[in-house]
Amino acid sequence: MPLVTTTKMFENAYKGGYAVGAFNVNNMEIIQGIVGAAQKLNSPLILQVSKGARAYANHTFLTKLVEAAVYETGLPIALHLDHGPDFETCKSCIDGGFTSVMIDGSAHPYEQNVEITKKVVEYAHEHGVTVEGELGKLAGIEDDVQVSAEDALFTNPDEVEDFVSRTGVDSLAIAIGTSHGAYKFKPGQDPSLRLDILEDIAKRLPGFPIVLHGASSVPQEFVALVNKYGGRMPDAIGIPESELKKAAAMAVCKINIDSDLRLAMTAAVRKHLFENPGDFDPRQYLAPARSAIEDMVAHKIQNVLGCAGKA
Ligand code: G3H
Ligand code: 13P
Ligand code: ZN
């Protein structure tokens, strides 16, 4: 099976009351870890590449690694551009073999967001590629953009029908309380999601797939491990998995997770090097890092997304 778009995946996810995991990839071990879990659990998968990942690892290297994952597993896998900043980046990914792109116009005024998103949709659809747009502003860090908690804005349900019909997007990322990065909430703050906004949006867009970004849960045992082996991560809490699970059973069909994979990988590398100070063969510390990613993804598929057995 070749790479797939998100169309069928989201149709099935919406009907089945589950979400597909969209995991960020930056190198071979991350891809192998994610795919290993999806294969064991027979799960569909979205592998997503940010502007930063393309700059770090190179478009062709990442595309070919993802194609290798499809070849090795036969799973339905979509290759997606995460947070496409402009038309040119989206076009380059569409021309370069991606099956799905996000155009993130959420930092622009509404009309400009509509305009840039529509332009990407027109080009993408001519080439058989699906498009995710975004309305609302998440707090946190993505690529070189940092949005403070005060500047974050929940999605306005009054805008969603107009945005979707005028742009023609295939899915919509919304802001209901998630945020990017490992430092989402300080201990003591309320990390619950505005599921009432999600419900309102779902009523206005029946059957339409919704996307959640910034959905890492920042498990405290991993922060503790990083710090035990020499890290200096401050205390922070992420999005409770119980809240994400409720969203996945509603209209949310795609849940983005990156920081939790970084955390699992970093904890494993630190632990290995701490316990084996003589090791200098990267395979010795990247193998446990790859296994840690696999375990984290398996945990998300089974306990948050509900997409095991849905490939
Ligand atoms: O939302 C952003 C993703 O976590 C990607 O992060 O821009 O550092 O690759 P990055
Ligand atoms: P996290 O930082 O919460 O993992 O979010 C990742 C994301 O939204 C990628 O687009
Ligand atoms: Zn994101």
Structural domains of the chain in order of their starting residue, each with its CATH number: 7-305 (3.20.20.70)
Per DSSP, 301 falls in state I
Instruction: Based on the residue annotation, tell me whether 158 is a catalytic residue of this protein.
Output: no
CB 21 within 8 A of CB 300: yes
pLDDT digits (tens, 9 = 90+) for 126-182: 999 999 999 998 876 666 666 666 566 899 999 999 999 999 999 999 999 999 999
Residues 25-83 have pLDDT tens digits of 999 999 999 999 999 999 999 999 999 999 999 999 999 999 999 999 999 999 999 99
- Global pTM reads 0.96
Helix (H, G, I), strand (E, B) or coil at 147: strand
**What pLDDT is stored for residue 193 in this prediction?**
95
- Verify whether ligand 2 is closer than 6 Å to residue 181 (CB atom): yes
- Minimum-distance ligand 2 atom for the alpha carbon of 184: 3
Spatial neighbors of 104 by CB under 8 A, at least 6 apart, are 83, 84, 85, 134, 173
- pLDDT at position 149 is 62
Average pLDDT score over residue span 187-209: 95
User: What average pLDDT does the structure give for the chain?
Assistant: 95
Ligand 2 within 6 A of CB of 219? no
Residue nearest to atom 10 of ligand 1 (CA): 143
* Nearest atom within ligand 1 for CA of residue 213: 1
- The CA distance from 290 to 293, in Å, is 5
What spacing in Å lies between the alpha carbon of 43 and ligand 1's midpoint? 23
Q: Which of these, 94, 58, 99, 96, lies nearest to 80 by C-alpha position?
A: 99
3-state secondary structure of 57: helix
CA atoms of 28 and 225, how far apart (whole Å)? 24
Which protein residues are within 6 Å of ligand 1, measured from CB?
A: 24, 50, 52-53, 82-83, 142-143, 180, 258
Ligand 1 atom index nearest CA of 214: 1
Number of residues that this document lists for the chain: 311
